[in-house]
Amino acid sequence: MAMSSSSVSLLKSSFMGDRFLRSSRHQSLPQLFTYRQRINHVSMQLPRSLSGLTNLLFNRRNIDEDALKRLKPGIVSPRRKVPKDITNPPYVKSRVPPGITTGPEVHDEKGIECMRASGRLAAQVLQYAGSLVKPGITTDEIDEAVHQMIIDNGAYPSPLGYGGFPKSVCTSVNECICHGIPDSRSLEDGDIINIDVTVYLNGYHGDTSTTFFCGDVDDEAKKLVQVTKESLDKAISICGPGVEFKKIGKTIHDHADKYGYGVVEQFVGHGVGRVFHADPVILHRRNNEDGRMMLNQTFTIEPMLTMGSINPVMWKDNWTVVTEDGSLSAQFEHTILITPGGAEIMTQC
């Protein structure tokens, strides 16, 4: 295994709803993360040795996102259909997220080629989705276009039906940290939007995201987005066989600190390949967790940086996560392959 079980038990996968689930093929799934509806906060169950982190990670004040945020939930359209001849991931028929699967995703040559194909398609879809970003378009219209392009290429949109997620892509606008559900809200001039695309092609997932500018974006927002992209690039540059995973978090956190940005701690990268979420858990913050990268291993790195609070508040839809203080958040993500010479970015055109 590439990561110690203790770290996996503490952190939330980058694509989870109301609970964090630790998965194996033979064991039941303990619920480690919970969502408390009255106060709209994500919370975690921590061992006594880490209980002191709770004050750092979570603010327990009662939050009403409708009063605090200008970003409001819109109308969510019905779930889009996928042709019957397209292979569905195993989790689609269940409303329970399958969680993090035990064991790293390490591939033979055939598996690597399949990962390249799914990663390339995900990158192409993301590039197309980004070209649609403009004032007046709704995030639901972006979802419709993404959905159609994915199924036209014989693939399945991985988010659709994952733990009951109702759409084919995540669209996270402004203060939304992650998992924004596409809806009837129109993008406005000056918005930033993260579009997170994952495709399931020939039995393999390719996962990537980018934060795009909508119209005339102010310099502060542009700087946040730039630094977030730089933090991902710097993290990828230090990867290679035998490198400790904790160096990823240090690299990202060090770069964010230079500009005074916060690093969201509760949402993490993950192994990806034949399953959507596998070992290892990739922390984007400084940490002392064990684990080293393995040759031919695939995983995501997906830092989320904020201008202000790193405390996450979850909407009542049980997916959308926003910053507690309404400050902007940006994210970038790639799926990478560990190679003899370092790392190959699999999610690029």
Query: Which residues does the annotation place in the binding site for substrate?
Result: 179, 277
Contact residues for 261 (Cβ-Cβ < 8 A; gap 6+): 224, 227, 228, 305, 306, 307
Contact 2, 102 (CB under 8 A): no
Helices (H), 153-283: 219-237, 246-258
**R_g over Cα of the chain:** 18
DSSP annotation string for 67-89: HH-S----PPPPPPP--TTSPPP
Beta bridge partners, 337, equal: 298, 344
SS3 267: strand
Instruction: Report d(CA 154, CA 101) in Å as an integer.
Output: 25
Give the rounded distance of the alpha carbon of 190 from its chain centre.
Answer: 23
Which single residue is written with the structure tokens 């990828």?
Answer: 236
In our burial notation (b when 16+ CB lie closer than 10 A, e otherwise), range 125-161 reads bbebbbeebeeeebbbbbbbbbbebbbeeebbbbbbb
Binding-site residue positions for a divalent metal cation:
196, 207, 270, 302, 333
Peptide bond into 166 cis (omega under 30): no
Give the rounded distance of the alpha carbon of 92 from its chain centre.
Answer: 18
Binding-site residue positions:
179, 196, 207, 270, 277, 302, 333
Give just the sign of the alpha carbon dihedral 37, 64, 172, 136. positive
